[in-house]
Structure 1
Amino acid sequence: MRNLWLIFCREFSHRLRQPVWLVIGLAQPVLYMFFFGPLVKKFIEHTPGFPDGDIWTIFAPALMVQMVIIGSTFVGLNLLAEYRAGVFGRFQVTPMSPVSLLLGKVASVTTGVLIQSGLIVVVCCLAFGLRPSPAGLCLCLAIVGLLSVSLATCSYSLALRVKSEESLPVALNALILPLFLLSGTLLPITPELAPPWLWGLSRLNPVSYVMDASRASFRGDFSSAELLPGVIAVAGMTALSLVWGVTTFSKENS
């Protein structure tokens, strides 16, 4: 735990020394909020089949998941930079556990994403009068945090497998874009709105269940049938990614 804490402090201090990336990471969701949100609001008013709740209980969790996808999937590029510079090799010759190294890095990424997600909620509350359920907001942040853990772990693991700054972004884009589009983040994918083939494909995407659970928890609907499958999906993704990550980091350290 001490080594994990040291790695977390090292990684997070790097983020704090470059606050411009916090602003850049928030820019895209904020632009969606002001330039895309009003259109979705008008669309919801004239289209049946949308999830329960008003526009911001639907759209704010989507922006949080979008923040996770933006902020957690390309962190492997930073690991490759450390790998080329010899920093990763220096960690390998210390008594530090590979698990501590992985979890410290992932915890730093997840903390940054949760701070940005919280700021998104604050902007929605101040600018659009959003009033989320406190318990639902906490559960939504927990779901978003676990999703960040799974995606960041996969990004780090894939980086150590590929070890190529040219190939990694291509591989990540090829994997993330279908997951993002089929998750219903920009517009909810429901049986009433989507053609049968698109609805079927979305059900094969675990992130779509996480997105549904995020919306249900955010509006405080703890009896929703969408909540349990989403929690199971994000827990399964997190467990599988951590197993892959620990195995990859341990193998690299041996």
Structure 2
Amino acid sequence: MLRDATLIFRSELLLARRSPARVGLEISQPLTWLLLFAPLMVGVMQESPDFRSGSAWMVMTPAITIYLVLMGSAFAGYKLLSDLGTGVLERMRVTPASRAALLLGNVMMRVVQTALQSMMVFLVAWILFDLPITVTGTLLTLAVGALLTLTLTSCSITVALLAKSEPIFTTMISTGLLPLTLLSGILMPITPGLAPEWLYILSRCNPLTWVADLARATFTGHYAFQPVVVGGAVLLVITVLSVWWGTRTFNREII
């Protein structure tokens, strides 16, 4: 299966190399968030409860990478819908490649893309804002982003496979993505001193909240029990469930 997934990943990589302009635009998107959006939110966070004035950039930098993972991975299913429409999946399913490899090969490409975007964010933040970035913190945060990319891309591709229609897929993703994003505290951390109690409790029920806290903890090097152990456990659980769901759906639908 791993060999098949690698072959599919290489084919996706070759397709990307034929569109360098698109790849360049996708990788440069983090610069827009870092330079235009982050300064605004840093100013707001410095006046918010539960945040020290010097910690705002350290909070926002990993948050931007998680948001990019969320936005990029959630709509990865469009690629599968395109493959369905052009008959690519019809040709792929007659090959001996495992169905799980068809899923994982596409996911691997998305993981590489989001890793490049995240490294771009870290590099620019280090150069422009002189953040105390460490190698360990960077690698751990990239690992969190990779697992989240695996999770969300698997879910997106699976939803697209079930929807089989761009309008239905767009409606399903957009409907679920907005509350998950707002309640995750990615763009603006939801703290007891800032949010109403009911909103704070609701946010803690969102798995992405724990993942966002985990990314911030690994990036800043604050390895407390709740963000690291609990957040890591939540991330591993949703990753396993999403890959299982995606593989099971592929085996059932692509036969």
TM-score (norm 1): 0.94
Task: Report what 2:10 is aligned to.
Answer: 9
Task: Report what 2:160 is aligned to.
Answer: 159
Give, as a single letter, the amino acid of the residue that structure 1 aligns with 2:11: R
Shift of 1:52: 9.2
Q: Aligned to 1:109, what secondary structure does the other structure show?
A: helix
Task: Report what 2:77 is aligned to.
Answer: 76
Larger deviation, residues 206-215 vs 125-134: 125-134
Task: Report what 1:202 is aligned to.
Answer: 203
Rounded to whole Å, the distance in 2 between the matches of 1:46 and 1:71 is 30
Rounded to whole Å, the distance in 2 between the matches of 1:112 and 1:33 is 17
Rounded to whole Å, the distance in 2 between the matches of 1:217 and 1:170 is 34
Task: Report what 2:96 is aligned to.
Answer: 95
Task: Report what 2:124 is aligned to.
Answer: 123
Q: Does structure 1 retain, via aligned residues, the 8 Å contact 2:49–2:193?
A: yes
Q: Aligned to 2:226, what secondary structure does the other structure show?
A: coil
Rounded to whole Å, the distance in 2 between the matches of 1:42 and 1:163 is 43
Task: Report what 2:86 is aligned to.
Answer: 85
Q: Does 1:144 align with 2:145?
A: yes
Over the residues paired in the alignment, what is the CA RMSD in angstroms? 1.7
Deviations 1:4-35 (A, max 9, x none): 11101011222232233334334553223222
Q: Aligned to 1:190, what secondary structure does the other structure show?
A: coil
Q: Aligned to 2:89, what secondary structure does the other structure show?
A: helix
Q: Aligned to 1:170, what secondary structure does the other structure show?
A: helix
Shift of 1:77: 0.9
Q: Does structure 2 retain, via aligned residues, the 8 Å contact 1:51–1:58?
A: no
Give, as a single letter, the amino acid of the residue that structure 1 aligns with 2:75: F
- Between structures 1 and 2, the one with greater helix share: 2
Q: Does structure 1 retain, via aligned residues, the 8 Å contact 2:93–2:254?
A: yes
Rounded to whole Å, the distance in 1 between the matches of 2:174 and 2:57 is 28
Q: Does 1:235 align with 2:228?
A: no
Q: Does 1:62 align with 2:63?
A: yes
Q: Which runs of 5+ in 1 are unaligned?
A: none
Q: Does structure 2 retain, via aligned residues, the 8 Å contact 1:98–1:250?
A: yes
Give, as a single letter, the amino acid of the residue that structure 2 aligns with 1:107: M
Shift of 1:225: 2.6
Rounded to whole Å, the distance in 2 between the matches of 1:62 and 1:21 is 24
Cα 1:219–1:243 change in 2 (3 A) is same
**What count of residue pairs does the alignment treat as equivalent?**
254
Q: Does structure 2 retain, via aligned residues, the 8 Å contact 1:73–1:152?
A: yes
Q: Does structure 1 retain, via aligned residues, the 8 Å contact 2:9–2:105?
A: yes
Cα 1:158–1:123 change in 2 (3 A) is same
Q: Which runs of 5+ in 2 are unaligned?
A: none
